[in-house]
Amino acid sequence: QLWHVGRTSLPDYHDGQLPWAPSAVNPETELRNQYGEKKQTATPHAMTIEEIAQTVKEFGDAAANAKKAGFDGVEIHSSNGYLIHQFFNNQSNLRTDEYGGSNENKARFFFEVLEAVAQSFPTNRIGCRLNPSLNGVFGIEGTPDTIPFFDYLINRLNEYDLAYLHLSEPFTDVSDIEFLESNIAKHYRPIYNGNLMINNQFDRETGNKVIEEGHADLVAYGKLFISNPDLAHRFKLKAETADWNMKTFYTQGREGYTDYPTLEKEKAKN
């Protein structure tokens, strides 16, 4: 993944300087610094046109470095309230220049990044990750313009022969918010013509179901893979999966990351 967190960062990571973002809007969230200490976010620095161009170039440089390092492809992380997502959202992007306002303008930074990355990888080696119904998490709030914007963006992505489009189901219950979409895979499968990957809270059964129903081509697993390093093997055997420990997420050291046992090691202990 290639990503830039934008305003969801702390001055601690930038020698005391403010994080960059589309506009000077504080996400009002709590983050951990490099020492694991929790701190409130600061109001970010609104990027200039020159700084936007610099950041686009840095995405391109990151892709070039990935190519040199031997990676087969890259995923552009345009989700979870990070920098690219901040350009998409009307509450984090208050710009009145060519990077704000209309759907085309709000998508401009993303497509410039995509074109920069495509200088190193063919588009069929590039994936893009989006989270259309993110709400109340990572400082992002959905608005009535949110789903129409993502409909526009994903329609445009049909012009690119991407490796896949990686979407997330809502992180929180949005069923009572009439302008947000509760069933992301089902909504975007008819819109997007390429390989569609979906994630968030799937297990073996629900993962198989979303593919069997034709709403997605692939399912991504994150937290379940952390607590089950042999997840594919467990799925094949229809074996029970281990629960993850949220208390160890984003903490220091190996606990909660590399110390979960495989199924064989669990059996050996019993």
d(CA 187, CA 146): 14
With beta carbons less than 8 A apart as the criterion, state whether 145 and 132 touch: no
With beta carbons less than 8 A apart as the criterion, state whether 149 and 88 touch: yes
99 is catalytic: no
- Residue 186's alpha-carbon distances to 115, 219, 256, in angstroms, are 28, 13, 33
Q: Cα-flanking dihedrals φ and ψ of residue 198, to 5°? A: -125, 150
From the candidates 82, 99, 188, 260, give the one annotated as an active-site residue: 82
In sequence order, what DSSP letters do the residues of 25-93 get, joined into one string?
A: -----EEE-TTS-EEE--PPEEPPHHHHHHHHHHHHHHHHHHHHTT-S-EEEE--TT-HHHHHH-TTT-
With beta carbons less than 8 A apart as the criterion, state whether 197 and 219 touch: yes
d(CA 158, CA 194): 7
List residues with catalytic annotation.
82
